[in-house]
Amino acid sequence: MTAIKFVHGSERRFVSVHERAKAEPQLAEILKRYPPGEMEGETFIHHAGSSDEPQLLEVKLSADTQIAAHAHDADEIIVVVEGEVHFGKQRYGIGSSVLIPRMTLYSFRAGPAGLTFLNFRPRKSTGTISKGEFMAMRAEADRSST
């Protein structure tokens, strides 16, 4: 039987991505693929998710933090709760949301006052796919289809 799972606001404790990587080998491997400073920030895991349970993270980024081009193996919805997010020349502030389909290459930047957002996925994502990995996967798929 499935139970309702609550996370009380008083339990919110943000942890740096690098601190999380000490306990999550898969995250540590992902961080090795990015230049220093590109995968900075803090997260609070509201719901870790699983293969059949949704995942909800809250992410804080400092002013003007650039997130490198990447993709995920699951759809995701980003909801801005503080600051603003820049997708190219487009700026989205508090209350804005964006749905990013799985296996979509994208990047973004935190606004000048920083950015806090909720990141929802319908299941636990197995990690980040870098631009290089994504392009290699696409090239392999193109070769296989011909």
- Mean pLDDT computed over every residue of the chain: 90
What residues in the chain have per-residue pLDDT under 70? 1, 37-39
How long is the chain? 146
pLDDT digits (tens, 9 = 90+) for 111-134: 999 999 999 999 998 778 989 899
Look up residue 134 and give its two tokens.
Answer: 């994504």
Percent of the chain with pLDDT over 90: 65
The residues facing 59 across adjacent strands are 43, 117
Return d(Cα 127, Cα 34) in angstroms, integer.
13
Q: Please list, residue by residue across 96-124, b when 16 or more beta carbons sit within 10 angstroms of its beta carbon and e when fewer do.
A: eebebeeeeebebbbbeebbbbbbbbeeb
Nearest Cα to 58, choosing from 7, 103, 113, 92? 7
Global pTM value = 0.86
Domains and CATH numbers, the chain: 13-145 (2.60.120.10)
